[in-house]
Amino acid sequence: MTVTVHDYYQPGWREHTHTCPSCDWQGASRQMEMELHDEQTEYSCPQCEFPLLIIQHPDLAAVQAAAAAGNVEARQQLEILAMAPRA
Ligand SMILES: [Zn+2]
Centre of ligand 1 from the C-alpha of residue 6, in Å: 23
Encode pLDDT of 19-46 as tens digits.
999 999 999 999 999 999 999 999 999 9
The pTM for the full model equals 0.82
Q: Is 60 exceeded by the pLDDT of residue 87?
A: no
For residues 64 and 78, the answer to whether their CB atoms sit within 8 Å is yes
Sorting pLDDT into bands at 50, 70 and 90, what band is 7?
Answer: very high
Centre of ligand 1 from the C-alpha of residue 46, in Å: 7
Percent of the chain with pLDDT strictly greater than 70: 98
Centre of ligand 1 from the C-alpha of residue 40, in Å: 20
